[in-house]
């Protein structure tokens, strides 16, 4: 069985992730991380800083995560710890994040690049209330949100979502065939594409809304996010 846990990198999912892994006791826990991101998180460090694309994205995620009382990627570290507790192997199934961003920027048109950086800059002003609104919008119309993303940023959608979905699906099929049961922690925005890529495999799915506790009240804000990648 391949179990997909659709997570969000800014929410407190540590207990839910641990419980899901202990309940299933898989042979492998697969994480939507590359080696660099995994080692940074394992050391308790922050991701890219400065005004680079990755730095801006990191600033946004870290600020929102703080509103939920966690650090970005805590759910991944919880998954790794739970894997060790049940004797499971840890597998890193994502592509290199820096190479992905460089490809996105290199292949985008000028108009799309302007839209891309505009969306990143706007995300710096996002607040918890708006995050909750956008998560609800995504749950209500997942295909519509993804189609909107593709229409505005087609290159980003292809490289950040579609190609990574295909890569991670291949890795999960390989791991399942070689090792046995797998629990995979992936951003909730990847779950639909992975289910499609794993259509010939036995798959169980727990979405972000299944894993989250009721959101804590907190300060609101403005701006928007759509789903977690």
Q: 183-217 pLDDT, tens per residue?
A: 999 999 999 999 999 999 999 999 988 888 644 44
Q: 97-123 pLDDT, tens per residue?
A: 889 989 999 999 999 999 888 877 776
The DSSP 8-state label assigned to residue 11 in this structure reads S
Neighbour order of strands in the sheet with 203-206: 89-92, 28-31, 182-187, 2-7, 203-206
Tell me the DSSP string of 118-155.
HHHHHHTT--HHHHHHHHHHHHH-HHHHHHHHHHH-HH
Distance CA 117, CA 115 (A): 6
The residues facing 132 across adjacent strands are none
Distance CA 220, CA 77 (A): 28
For residue 15, the model assigns a pLDDT of 93
What value does the mean pLDDT take over residues 151-178? Answer: 95
For residue 57, the model assigns a pLDDT of 62
For residue 29, the model assigns a pLDDT of 99
Written as six digits, the tokens of 150 are: 């593709």
Confidence of residue 178 (pLDDT cuts 50, 70, 90): very high
For residue 90, the model assigns a pLDDT of 98
For residue 220, the model assigns a pLDDT of 38
Q: 44-103 pLDDT, tens per residue?
A: 765 555 445 555 566 556 656 565 666 778 899 999 999 999 999 999 999 998 899 899
Q: 138-155 pLDDT, tens per residue?
A: 777 778 888 888 888 899
Distance CA 127, CA 103 (A): 29
Closest-CA residue to 91 (of 4, 164, 182, 30): 30
For residue 9, the model assigns a pLDDT of 73
Question: Alpha helices, DSSP H only, in the chain?
Answer: 14-24, 35-42, 53-67, 74-86, 97-107, 110-123, 128-140, 142-152, 154-156, 164-179, 191-197, 208-211
For residue 12, the model assigns a pLDDT of 82
What value does the mean pLDDT take over residues 27-48? Answer: 85
Q: Are 197 and 166 in contact (CB under 8 A)?
A: yes
Confidence of residue 175 (pLDDT cuts 50, 70, 90): very high
Domain boundaries, the chain: 2-211
For residue 51, the model assigns a pLDDT of 44
Written as six digits, the tokens of 34 are: 């590359």
């Amino acid at each position: 069985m391949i179990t997909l846990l659709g997570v969000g990198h800014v929410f407190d999912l540590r207990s839910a992730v641990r419980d899901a892994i202990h309940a299933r006791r898989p042979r492998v826990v697969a994480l939507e991380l590359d080696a660099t991101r995994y080692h940074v998180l394992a050391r308790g460090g922050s991701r890219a800083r400065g005004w680079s694309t990755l730095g801006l994205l990191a600033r946004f995620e870290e600020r929102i995560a703080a509103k939920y009382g966690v650090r970005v990627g805590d759910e991944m570290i919880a998954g790794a710890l739970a894997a060790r507790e049940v004797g499971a192997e840890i597998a890193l199934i994502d592509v290199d994040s820096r190479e992905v961003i460089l490809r996105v920027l290199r292949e985008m048109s000028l108009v799309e690049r302007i839209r891309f950086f505009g969306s990143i800059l706007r995300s710096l002003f996002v607040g918890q209330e708006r995050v909750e609104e956008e998560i609800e919008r995504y749950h209500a119309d997942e295909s519509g949100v993804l189609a909107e993303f593709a229409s505005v940023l087609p290159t980003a959608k292809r490289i950040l979502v579609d190609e990574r979905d295909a890569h991670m699906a291949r890795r999960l099929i390989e791991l399942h065939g070689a090792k046995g049961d797998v629990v995979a922690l992936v951003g909730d925005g990847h779950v639909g594409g992975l289910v499609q890529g794993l259509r010939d495999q036995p798959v169980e799915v727990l979405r972000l809304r299944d894993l989250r506790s009721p959101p804590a009240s907190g300060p609101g804000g403005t701006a928007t996010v759509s789903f977690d990648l």
